[in-house]
């Protein structure tokens, strides 16, 4: 009999709040996505103050940076995102997760130590995330997916319709530099604004301004949750394989 697979652990980056609809939807979306897999799932809430204090992230095979910003500790959220990015651990961000994935890249990849999120620092000179001209709170729109992107492959569609609950997005003043090299915009809204990003040098690093998870509350499958779980199982398997002792036959 083969080894029993350990429970897959997914860490939810953010501060749990029962008033946030997405916080009910995300665990449900993940549980609904478990059915095709032979394994068990453990979902842990990783609050940002504990992340800032150095919470161990090694046990996790995937992360979801959740809506609900501003977080209690921005540095804690950015530390977890940086860990996922640098260690090739599957990562999904939605809404606030998208905004903070962008902020983490600006600070830690581009070296912009003064990069800011306008919600926390309205007067910042380099607010890579700014207030949107038109709020997207409880708004839905048709979103175009970039041909050839991982996001388009996950949905299997050229266009999708998703909903939002946010007022902040990419600042156009900085987007040409932010979206260069290994980071690409993979979805655009009806006004051509960037609605999703993905890293091309990472096995699974995707973030969306929209909140697909909320469909799980209506019993509708969430393709991005399914894709994150599949990527996390692959990551878990590859990590377990690398940790198994090799059996080398002695020469005759």
**Token pair listed for 80:** 């977890």
3-state secondary structure of 70: coil
CA distances from 140 to 87, 133, 167, 242 (A): 34, 16, 13, 44
Q: How far apart are CA 195 and CA 90, in angstroms?
A: 19
- Residue 192's pLDDT band (cuts 50, 70, 90): very high
Q: How far apart are CA 3 and CA 158, in angstroms?
A: 41
Do the Cβ atoms of 43 and 70 come closer than 8 Å?
A: no
pLDDT at 38: 77
The DSSP line for 131-149 is E-SS--TTEEEEEEEPTT-
CB 216 within 8 A of CB 28: yes
Please state the rounded mean pLDDT for residues 34-54: 93
Cα torsion through 231, 235, 237, 238, rounded to 10: 130
One-letter-per-residue 3-state SS of 92-106 = EEECHHHHHHHHHHH
**Mean pLDDT on 135-151:** 96
* Residue 103, in any domain of the structure: yes
In a domain, 191, yes or no: yes
* SS3 (DSSP) at 188: strand
CATH for 92: 3.40.50.880
Tell me which residue range forms the domain holding 200: 8-243
Q: Do the domain assignments include residue 153? A: yes
The DSSP bridge partners found for residue 42 are: 9
Residue 247 has pLDDT above 70, yes or no: no
Q: Is there a domain that residue 105 lies in?
A: yes
* CB-CB neighbours of 41 under 10 Å: 17
Mean predicted confidence (pLDDT) in 104-114: 97
The reply to whether 249 falls in a domain is no
Mean pLDDT over each residue of the chain, to the nearest integer: 93
How many domains is the chain partitioned into structurally?
1
Q: Give the global pTM.
A: 0.93
Strands, E, within the chain: which ranges?
Answer: 8-13, 41-46, 62-65, 91-94, 116-117, 127-131, 139-145, 159-164, 168-170, 183-188, 194-199, 205-208
216 within domain boundaries: yes
pLDDT for residue 251 is more than 60: no
Q: Looking at the predicted structure, is the pLDDT value of residue 250 above 80?
A: no
Q: What is the pLDDT of residues 72-93, one digit of tens each?
A: 999 999 999 999 999 999 999 9
Residue 113 located in a structural domain: yes
**Model confidence over 230-244: pLDDT tens digits?**
999 999 998 887 775
The pLDDT value given to residue 241: 78
The stretch 99-113 carries a mean pLDDT of 97
The three-class DSSP label of residue 62 is strand
Specify if 252 maps to a domain.
no
Confidence of residue 228 (pLDDT cuts 50, 70, 90): very high
């Amino acid at each position: 009999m083969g080894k029993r697979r350990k429970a897959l652990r997914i860490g939810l980056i953010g501060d749990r709040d029962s008033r946030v609809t997405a916080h009910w939807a995300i665990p449900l979306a993940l549980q609904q996505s478990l059915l095709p897999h032979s394994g068990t799932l453990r979902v842990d809430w990783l609050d940002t103050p504990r992340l800032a204090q150095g919470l161990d992230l090694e046990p996790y095979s995937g992360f979801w940076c959740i809506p609900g910003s501003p977080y209690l500790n921005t540095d804690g959220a950015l530390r977890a995102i940086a860990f996922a990015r640098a260690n090739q651990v599957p990562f999904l961000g939605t809404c606030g997760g998208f905004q903070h994935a962008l902020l983490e890249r600006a600070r830690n990849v581009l070296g912009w130590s003064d990069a800011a999120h306008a919600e926390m620092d309205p007067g910042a000179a380099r607010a890579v995330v700014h207030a949107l001209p038109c709020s997207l709170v409880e708004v839905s729109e048709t979103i175009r997916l970039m041909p050839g992107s991982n996001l388009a492959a996950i949905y299997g569609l050229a266009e999708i319709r998703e909903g939002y609950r946010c007022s902040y997005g990419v600042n156009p003043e900085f987007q040409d530099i932010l979206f260069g090299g290994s980071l690409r915009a993979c979805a655009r809204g009806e006004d051509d604004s960037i609605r999703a990003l993905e890293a091309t040098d990472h096995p699974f690093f995707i973030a969306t301004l929209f909140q697909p998870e909320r469909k799980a509350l209506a019993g509708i499958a969430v393709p991005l949750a399914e894709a994150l779980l599949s990527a996390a199982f692959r990551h878990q398997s590859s990590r377990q394989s690398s940790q198994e002792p090799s059996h080398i036959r002695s020469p005759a």
